[in-house]
Amino acid sequence: MRDTTFRPRRALVLGVAASDAHAVANRLIHLMLTEQGFRVRNLGVCTPLAEFADAAAELDAAAVIIGSVNGHAVNDLADLPGLRAMGRLACPVVFGGRPSIEVGGAATGRARLRELGVDHVLDRAEQLPALLDSILAPVLTHAG
Ligand code: B12
């Protein structure tokens, strides 16, 4: 069986984008990640990007995971380049959910999020554990 004992050793920050009040996926993802051994600080719904940055700094987080399904993620994450220019949110940022309100606009929404500097854009919660393992394992190997 695969060794996943490294999962609790670095914190992850989870939450929902600033304009978005949809709570269900966030709650389910928190439960899924916790049950699978990840260490998660969940900031919940309607979380401004600066609060993700503050929590990531406080916890020395390995990644920040931002969900949104209301279609306004591009606006909500518009400050990411500015925060990064100030040296904040240096860890990988993962987005998951629905990035657009336009019919057939998902690809454009994903591309705009990538342009803002979002490192990984996912559609489904089930994709998260493997991605997080790929982020955490090298960080921990490097840290010794
Ligand atoms: C319940 C619901 C609400 C409830 C939320 C209650 C609550 N406490 O959460 C209420 C009534 C408040 C609400 C409000 C609104 N809603 Co609403 N809502 C829904 C609904 C019916 C279900 C959402 C849900 O909980 N699904 C269950 C979860 C488990 O599934 P999910 O959210 O789809 O998430 C999956 C994936 O998207 C993904 N995922 C989601 N988040 C994340 C995060 C990460 C990190 C990852 C990796 C994956 C991931 O994985 C999940 C599991 O596969 C959907 C329609 C639908 N059937 O999906 C609309 C829907 C999301 N809402 C919509 C809209 C437009 C609104 C409003 C703007 C309506 C309005 N005019 O007021 C407001 C916005 C409020 C706000 N500020 O965000 C639209 C969004 C349109 C778009 N993106 O194209 C939808 C899609 C309805 C529609 N077809 O138009 N809503």
CB of 78 within 6 A of ligand 1: the answer is no
For residues 66 and 92, the answer to whether their CB atoms sit within 8 Å is no
Name the burial class of residue 66, with classes exposed (0-12), middle (13-18) and buried (19+) by CB atoms within 10 angstroms of its CB.
buried
CATH value at residue 56: 3.40.50.280
Q: Nearest CA to 56 among 10, 100, 21, 24?
A: 10
Ligand 1 atom with the shortest distance to the CA of 68: 41
In a domain, 70, yes or no: yes
Rg (CA), the chain: 14
pTM of structure:
0.96
Q: Which residues pair with 11 in a beta bridge?
A: 39
In a domain, 139, yes or no: yes
Give the whole-angstrom CA distance, residue 7 versus residue 78: 30
- Residue 101 pLDDT: 87
pLDDT, tens digit only, all 144 positions of the chain: 678 899 999 999 999 999 999 999 999 999 999 999 999 999 999 999 999 999 999 999 999 999 999 999 999 999 999 999 999 999 999 999 999 888 788 899 999 999 999 999 999 999 999 999 999 987 666 555
- Residue 142 pLDDT: 58
Q: List the residue whose alpha carbon is closest to atom 84 of ligand 1.
A: 101
Give the whole-angstrom CA distance, residue 135 versus residue 107: 24
CB of 98 within 6 A of ligand 1: the answer is yes
In a domain, 90, yes or no: yes
CA 22–ligand 1 middle distance (angstroms): 5
CA 75–ligand 1 middle distance (angstroms): 17
- Residue 39 pLDDT: 97
In a domain, 1, yes or no: no
Q: Which domain holds residue 83?
A: 7-12+21-143
For residues 89 and 53, the answer to whether their CB atoms sit within 8 Å is yes
- Residue 76 pLDDT: 98
CA 102–ligand 1 middle distance (angstroms): 14
In a domain, 2, yes or no: no
- Residue 102 pLDDT: 83
3-state SS string for 71-140: CCHHHHCCCHHHHHHCCCCCCCEEEEECCCCCCCCHHHHHHHHHHHCCCEEECCHHHHHHHHHHHHHHHH
- Residue 140 pLDDT: 63
The structural domain count of the chain equals 1
CA 95–ligand 1 middle distance (angstroms): 15
In a domain, 89, yes or no: yes
CB of 130 within 6 A of ligand 1: the answer is no
Give the whole-angstrom CA distance, residue 119 versus residue 112: 12
In a domain, 86, yes or no: yes
CB of 31 within 6 A of ligand 1: the answer is no
